[in-house]
Amino acid sequence: MNTFLLVCAIGLFLAVTSCQSQHHHGHPNQNNIPRDEKVSDHRDHHRESTTWIPILKYNKEQSEDGSYKTEYETGNNIVHEETGFLKDFSETNPNGVLVQHGQYSYQSPEGDVVNVQYTADENGFRATGDHIPTPPAIPDEIQKGLDQIYAGIKLQQERLEQRAKSDPDFARKLEERRLANKNGQYIGPLENA
């Protein structure tokens, strides 16, 4: 899907820039037919140029199980490869979860080749590449604080699970809370429920 959107976006960009370039004063269009000379003066000051960028290679393999492989290369050194498949069919995911792995490269304005590898799945989009900044290490004091917060959350969760084992009504409320949280809603604490 991402590849399809990218190819559509490139095609739209090329179509728009091609249409814009056909409206310049005094220049012939694609069919070498002279343009109307009645063009407003403001266009004379803003001459745009566009370059047609060919698609040198485009391959897509689609399987019946939903998996696919796609690759393309453009005339301006953009190269993209991607594979995808569906996993984890269940009641909560009746259509499965789409997992995509890929990589692309392009040439930066400075002339450097930029390489990006990525994965997109139920955990979001994650990209790696030498050009992507990496955060500094977390200081020990802050990491200790984060560990304490995580330990408190884990302890609270264990207490809730224990209570749910002995209280069916509480177990039902806890499950409702989990589903709401999964859907991006917040019900509030259940400790005193």
For the segment 120-125, the average pLDDT, to the nearest whole number, is: 91
Percent of the chain with pLDDT over 90: 45
- pLDDT recorded at residue 28: 46
Report whether pLDDT(38) > 80: no
Q: What is the pTM of this model?
A: 0.48
**Contacts with 77 (C-beta within 8 Å, 6 or more apart), sequence order:** 105, 106, 107, 113
Residue 47 has pLDDT above 70, yes or no: no
Q: What pLDDT, on the 0 to 100 scale, is given for residue 23?
A: 46
| Res 68 pLDDT > 50 | yes
> Average pLDDT, stretch 73-80?
95
- Lowest-pLDDT range of 8-22, 59-73, 94-108: 8-22
Q: What is the mean pLDDT of residues 12-21?
A: 50
